Structure formats: structure tokens, C-alpha cells
Structure 1
Amino acid sequence: MKTDAQRPDKARQANTHIQNRMAKNKMPVGEQVLAIFRELVGERASQLSIAIPDAQASIRQALLTKHPKEIAHDVAFHLTDWQSDAAFIVAILLFPERFTRAQIRDGVQRFAIHAPNHTAAAAKLCGFPVSDIFEIGALDAADND
């Protein structure tokens, strides 16, 4: 991958323009993520912000061969309910320069609050253990102080 110093002047100027425009961006992180995905996949980006994405049915159908209907349904829900949070992670991995610090903080917070319990529930329902492999007290009862 070429660095800015290796890019032709026009490309470097265009990249600087995008970075400056995004740095001034005040749109909420969810809107920023959808804007990025609309550029990448067009109308399919709507699947990242609807209540029941099409992928939920696909996951459920695929799991029915190994799990009862209720488990398949619940796992599909738990793997798709946080699709906008997953989209944030993918968008920040692909285009970190397009997010302000405030948007990044908001996206990280939204992900950290919403996604872990869903992924843990999906793992447990599929028969996989949920453990604290990093030994940071992740499974300890929340401190209410």
C-alpha cells in the first residue's frame, strides 16, 4: 500500500480533503456508518439498521439441522440484533480516518454495551462455554457502587 508520500499529488489532495471533511463531521456515528456502507453496498446497507435483517432467517434455517427450532431462532436473534454495532467495527477497520474521536468513542461504547451479551448468549445456546479467558473479571457480577 502506498503512503501519502508515494501517492501522486491529486490522490494525496483528495485523501486530505476527505480527512478534513470527515474531521469536521458532526453526524451521529450510526449515520456515518450507514453512509459508508451505502457507498460500498448501496441499498443492502439498510440491512444494518432494520429490526429483523434478512440474515436472521438464513442463520435460523442453517442452524435447524443441528438445533431445535427455538434455539435456532434465539441464536439467529442474538447474532443479528447488534448488526449496527458490527457494522461500526467493520467501518472503523476499513476507514478509521472517516470518524471523529467523538464518533469512535460513541461507537465503541455502543458496541461494548450491546454486543457482548448477545455473543455470549449465542455461544451458550450453541453449547460453547463462555469464559473469562483474559482473566479480567469479565463474568463477575457488575459493581453497583
Structure 2
Amino acid sequence: MTVDDPTPIGDSGEGSRPWEEYVRLARERIERAVEAEGGAAQVSGPVAFHMSDWLHDLHDLLGVLDPDRQPTDAEVREVLMAFLLHVPEHVAAAAKLYLSVGIRDTFGLSVCESDDGG
């Protein structure tokens, strides 16, 4: 249950931005903020990409969790799986690039191991 051209969360009225423009503006805003702190373009661009590329996944997840909608369990699972397969890697990459922080196994679930056990 993905939305082809979702309206940004909290913006459903006249003059709302097309989704692609919303994502572009979000990416540019993150990039400017990182650069304003003294971050180089070779870091700010990738950080902005990694923090904006999955916004559509967030929108879709919030959409199926909206109490006013009634998605099927299959639709919720589909969106949840897409979110979990796409978002964490981007967030991990952004954290490494921007904060020089790697992923820790905070919950003791061996999340830092690859699927093949390595």
C-alpha cells in the first residue's frame, strides 16, 4: 500500500507541495544545516541523501498506521517490511558519515552481524 504521490504529513490543504519537491527541499535543508556547522560538501550531500531517501517509506508507514484509514493486515506488513529493509541502512550510513558513529547492538540481537553470520 504505497502512495504514488503522497502529500507531506501535516500538509493536506491548498498549496501543498508535490512529494518530490518536499523530499528535495528536505534534502537541501539537511545539506545546508550540515554545511553551516562546517561540514564539507562531500559529507553534507551524502548525509542529506541518506536522511531523505527514505522519507517516502516513513510517509507510507504513517499512512497505514493512521487510525482514520483501515488498511488490511497484509498492507501493513508490506509497508512495514519495505520500511525495515530500506530505512536502517540509510540511517546507519548517515550516522557514520555525520557523527562517525557506527551501529551498536543496543538490544543484544546480533544486529551488527550480516545475514550470512559474518
Q: Does 1:143 align with 2:116?
A: yes
Instruction: Give the alignment of 1:112-127 within 5 angstroms.
Output: 112-127=84-99
> When the two structures are superposed, what TM-score results if normalisation uses the length of structure 2?
0.78
Q: Percent identity?
A: 26
Partner Cα distance (1:39, 1:129) in 2? 32
User: Which residue in 1 is equivalent to 2:24?
Assistant: 53
Contact persistence 2:58–2:83 (CA under 8 A): yes
AA aligned to 1:41 is: S
Given candidates 26, 29, 52, the residue that maps to 1:80 is: 52
Contact persistence 2:64–2:79 (CA under 8 A): no
Give the superposition deviation at 1:53. Answer: 2.2
Regions of 4+ moved over 4 Å: 37-40
Q: Tell me: higher relative CO, structure 1 or 2? Use CA pairs within 8 A at least 6 residues apart.
A: 1
Secondary structure in structure 2 of the residue aligned to 1:126: helix
Relative to structure 1, the CA distance from residue 32 to residue 57 in structure 2 (aligned partners, 3 Å threshold; closer, same or farther) is closer
From the two aligned structures, give the one with the greater helix fraction: 1
Q: Does 1:65 align with 2:69?
A: no
Instruction: Give the alignment of 1:1-145 within 5 angstroms.
Output: 29-31=1-3, 34=6, 40-42=11-13, 43-44=16-17, 46-47=18-19, 53-66=24-37, 67-95=39-67, 97-127=69-99, 128-143=101-116
Secondary structure in structure 1 of the residue aligned to 2:36: coil
Structure 1: runs of 5+ lacking an equivalent: 1-28
Q: Which has the larger radius of gyration?
A: 1
> When the two structures are superposed, what TM-score results if normalisation uses the length of structure 1?
0.65
Q: CA RMSD in A?
A: 2.8
